């Protein structure tokens, strides 16, 4: 019995310490994702050790110390994404002044053929923007049903799991589809004209994840996030970044993106809103994101029911409120 708990503590410690290694290999960066799972496993092992092991034995104390390190370290990363800590973004007022923007962000999974479920969510929640990722020519044909209510659209179907579409009730200006890092991984950039006449910049991203079937290293994904972060900082205009970033909210890469761009995360203090994996409850983490500059507040953020994809859609409603910038602050840039 002590050996089993000792092995569990060693494995959990390795999974906790591995992301500290100066490597971009997918086997290292992949351990950024399951921090919640590692925390829960360590809590379970700690409870079992306290109940079943001799607490006076040196081996037990070592096990408890190792599990304590895991719990403390993983908690530091994920507690901000729980209601335990303060919210980073203020709640929006109830006024309807034409400055709100409701966004439905959905990675549809290319081979998924349950488009009706997504269209039903669009009808139910009436978003201003519908963003689809992994959408190919088949999905584009199904989404043609949105044309009447969403007169503005950017369409870039691909059959490599990186197609994307943007449908908007609001006017789009200065639209571009760019390949920021990899020649087959597009991103959409556009100005969105709110009903109030205010203009906000939108960046839709879907970089490739570090994995044995995609990129062995996280470098292309990390580079794309840094490119966009620097653009947001340089332009200095109200901006939103949305999409499937193939990275979790608490990773050092996403934190660097936020430090460079100055963007806020509306989930901080509200919840994780884990959107992946829709079919595997034991391996869920937040891969689909909406970040924004400090001149927005949050009216609503919600994970929607499944649509047959391996991702849940994410619904976010932001309110453009320039005065809020004086009251909100993100991570803050550092020289590193």
The answer to whether position 87 is within a domain reads no
Domain of residue 322 covers: 100-327
Per DSSP, 288 falls in state E
Task: Say which CATH number the domain at 300 has.
Answer: 3.60.10.10
Using the CB atoms, write b or e for 241-278: b if 16+ within 10 Å: bbbbbbbbbbbebbbbbbbbbbbbbbbbbbebbbbbbb
- What's the mean per-residue pLDDT of the chain? 94
Decide: 313 and 105 in contact? Cβ < 8 Å. Answer: yes
Q: Is the pLDDT of residue 334 over 80?
A: no
Considering its fold, how many domains does the chain have in total? 2
Q: Is the pLDDT of residue 335 over 60?
A: no
Q: What is the mean pLDDT of residues 256-279?
A: 96
3-state SS assignment for residue 32: helix
**Among 81, 116, 133, which residue terminates a domain?**
81
Q: Quick one: pLDDT at residue 235?
A: 97
Could you read off the pLDDT of 248-267 as tens digits, one per residue?
A: 999 989 999 999 999 999 99
**302 in the same domain as 180:** yes
**Among 53, 81, 109, which residue terminates a domain?**
81
Q: Quick one: pLDDT at residue 333?
A: 55
In the structure, what pLDDT confidence band is assigned to residue 93 with cuts at 50, 70 and 90? confident
**56 in the same domain as 142:** no
Cα distances (angstroms) measured from residue 183 to each of 25, 139, 162, 179, 206:
21, 22, 11, 6, 13
**151 in the same domain as 191:** yes
Q: Is the dihedral of CA 285, 290, 292, 295 positive or negative?
A: negative
In the structure, what pLDDT confidence band is assigned to residue 280 with cuts at 50, 70 and 90? very high
Could you read off the pLDDT of 300-312 as tens digits, one per residue?
A: 999 999 999 999 9
Q: Of 155, 238, 252, nearest to 203 (Cα)?
A: 238
**234 in the same domain as 160:** yes
Using CA atoms, how far apart are residues 29 and 107, in angstroms rounded to an integer? 22
Q: Quick one: pLDDT at residue 99?
A: 96
**301 in the same domain as 170:** yes
pTM of the model: 0.94
**212 in the same domain as 268:** yes
In the structure, what pLDDT confidence band is assigned to residue 53 with cuts at 50, 70 and 90? confident
3-state SS assignment for residue 180: coil
In the structure, what pLDDT confidence band is assigned to residue 1 with cuts at 50, 70 and 90? low
**Among 32, 54, 81, which residue terminates a domain?**
81
3-state SS assignment for residue 325: helix
**127 in the same domain as 68:** no
Decide: 268 and 80 in contact? Cβ < 8 Å. Answer: yes
The answer to whether position 93 is within a domain reads no
Decide: 16 and 69 in contact? Cβ < 8 Å. Answer: yes
Between 3-7, 127-131, 299-303, the lowest mean confidence (pLDDT) is in: 3-7
Q: Quick one: pLDDT at residue 55?
A: 84
């Amino acid at each position: 019995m002590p050996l089993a708990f000792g092995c569990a503590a060693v494995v959990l410690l390795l999974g906790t310490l591995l992301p500290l290694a100066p490597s971009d290999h997918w086997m290292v960066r992949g351990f950024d994702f399951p921090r919640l799972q590692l925390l829960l496993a360590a809590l379970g092992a700690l409870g079992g050790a306290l109940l079943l092991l001799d607490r006076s034995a040196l081996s037990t104390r070592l096990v408890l110390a190792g599990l304590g390190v895991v719990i403390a370290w993983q908690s530091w990363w994920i507690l901000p994404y729980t209601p335990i800590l303060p919210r980073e973004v203020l709640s929006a007022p109830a006024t309807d002044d034409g400055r709100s923007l409701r966004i439905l962000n959905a990675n549809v999974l290319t081979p998924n053929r349950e488009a009706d479920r997504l269209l039903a969510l669009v009808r139910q929640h009436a978003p201003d923007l519908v963003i689809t990722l992994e959408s190919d020519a088949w999905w584009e044909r199904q989404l043609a049903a949105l044309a009447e209510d969403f007169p503005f659209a950017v369409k870039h179907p691909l059959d490599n799991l990186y197609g994307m579409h943007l449908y908007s009730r609001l006017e789009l200006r200065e639209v571009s589809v760019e390949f920021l890092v990899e020649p087959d991984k597009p991103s959409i950039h556009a100005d969105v004209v709110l009903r109030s006449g205010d203009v906000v910049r939108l960046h839709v991203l879907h970089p490739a994840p570090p994995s044995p079937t995609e990129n062995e290293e996280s470098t292309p994904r990390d580079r794309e996030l840094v490119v966009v972060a620097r653009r947001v900082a340089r332009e200095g205009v109200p901006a939103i970044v949305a999409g499937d970033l193939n990275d979790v909210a608490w990773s050092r890469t996403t934190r660097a993106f936020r430090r460079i761009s100055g963007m806020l995360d509306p989930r901080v203090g509200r919840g994780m809103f884990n959107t992946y994996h829709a079919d595997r409850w034991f391996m869920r983490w937040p891969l689909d994101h909406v970040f924004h500059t400090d001149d927005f507040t949050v009216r609503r953020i919600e994970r929607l029911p499944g649509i047959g994809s391996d991702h849940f859609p994410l619904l976010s409603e932001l309110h453009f409120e320039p005065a809020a910038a004086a009251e909100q602050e993100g991570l803050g840039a550092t020289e590193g």
